[in-house]
Structure 1
């Protein structure tokens, strides 16, 4: 039996805790040991959660530890997961049992996939991708490392999301479109053409915006 540790004890960490309880491996392949968070009082005022066992920076990995990274911002997910990887930590997938993985779908490691998502035929999901609830991925979609897809977002067939892409809630990417590395698509936006690297687009149709 492995000891699962959740990196991040804030709001998203609490959601990932419940995801871990609902997955088939709970109490069979793993139990939940606790959270890692540098804010030691992050769970103050909340009940029914395991304890914070330390910070990522200070934690010494034990033999039976396994990890997931529950940080909703791509930058910090990558930063803290890489700290644990550098210490030799091993990451697992948490894929909700209501998710559909269709024929030939390929999944990497460190994935978080929430309820009622549909990963269609011949999709490729690389390492450390987060897919929140009710996401739909069309056939032959490729989602590259570290990307984050918020609830109800959708990709058409043959879409490519390069590394570190964020799709916010209800974002839609039409078929054959590529969203380049580090780009962000705003909530409820419709992407009809390729998105350039490290840009933010928003609207219907989605256009580049500046802050």
Structure 2
């Protein structure tokens, strides 16, 4: 039996805890040992969650420990996952049983996939991708490492989301579009042409915005 440790005990961490308890491996392949978070009081006022064990930086990995990274931010997901990897930690996938993995879909390691996601035929999902609830991925979609796809988002066929891309809630990417590395698509936006690296686009149609 593995001991699952959730990196991050804030709001998204609490959601990932429930995901862990709903997956087929719960109490069969793993139990939830607790959270890692540098905010030791992150769960104050909340009940029915396991304890915060320590910060990521201070945690000493033990035999049978496995990890998932519950960070809603791509930047911090990558940062803390790499800290655990540098210590020799191993990550597992949490894929909700209602998710549909269609013919020839390929998935990596360290994935979080929430309820009623549809990963269509011949999709490729690389390591440390987060796919939230009710996401629809069209055939031959490729999602590269560290990307985050928020609830109700949709990609058409042959879409490519490069490394560290974020699709916010209800974003839609039309077929054959490439969203380049580090780009962010705003909530409820419609992407009709390729998105440049490290840019933020928003609107219908989605256009580059500056902050």
Q: Please tell me the TM-score bracket, short chain as reference.
A: over 0.9
Distance 1:150 1:123 in 2: 17
Q: Does 1:111 align with 2:124?
A: no
TM-score, normalising length: structure 1: 1.00
TM-score, normalising length: structure 2: 1.00
Distance 2:104 2:183 in 1: 27
User: Gaps (5+ residues) in structure 1?
Assistant: none
Residue in structure 2 matched with residue 97 of structure 1 by the alignment:
97
User: Superposition pairs for residues 158-197 of structure 1, below 5 Å?
Assistant: 158-197=158-197
User: Superposition pairs for residues 5-16 of structure 1, below 5 Å?
Assistant: 5-16=5-16
Query: What secondary structure does 1:84 align onto?
Result: helix
Residue in structure 2 matched with residue 73 of structure 1 by the alignment:
73
TM-fit CA distance, 1:27? 0.3
Distance 1:64 1:93 in 2: 15
User: Superposition pairs for residues 22-61 of structure 1, below 5 Å?
Assistant: 22-61=22-61
Residue in structure 1 matched with residue 20 of structure 2 by the alignment:
20
Distance 2:62 2:54 in 1: 13
TM-fit CA distance, 1:119? 0.1
Cα RMSD of the aligned pairs, angstroms, is 0.2
Give the ranges of 4+ consecutive aligned residues of structure 1 lying more than 3 Å apart after TM superposition: none
TM-fit CA distance, 1:148? 0.2
Distance 2:48 2:23 in 1: 18
Residue in structure 1 matched with residue 62 of structure 2 by the alignment:
62
- CA displacement 1:78-132 (0-9 Å, x = unmatched): 0000000000000000000000000000000000000000000000000000000
User: Superposition pairs for residues 126-165 of structure 1, below 5 Å?
Assistant: 126-165=126-165
TM-fit CA distance, 1:155? 0.2
User: Gaps (5+ residues) in structure 2?
Assistant: none
- CA displacement 1:57-91 (0-9 Å, x = unmatched): 00000011000000000000000000000000000
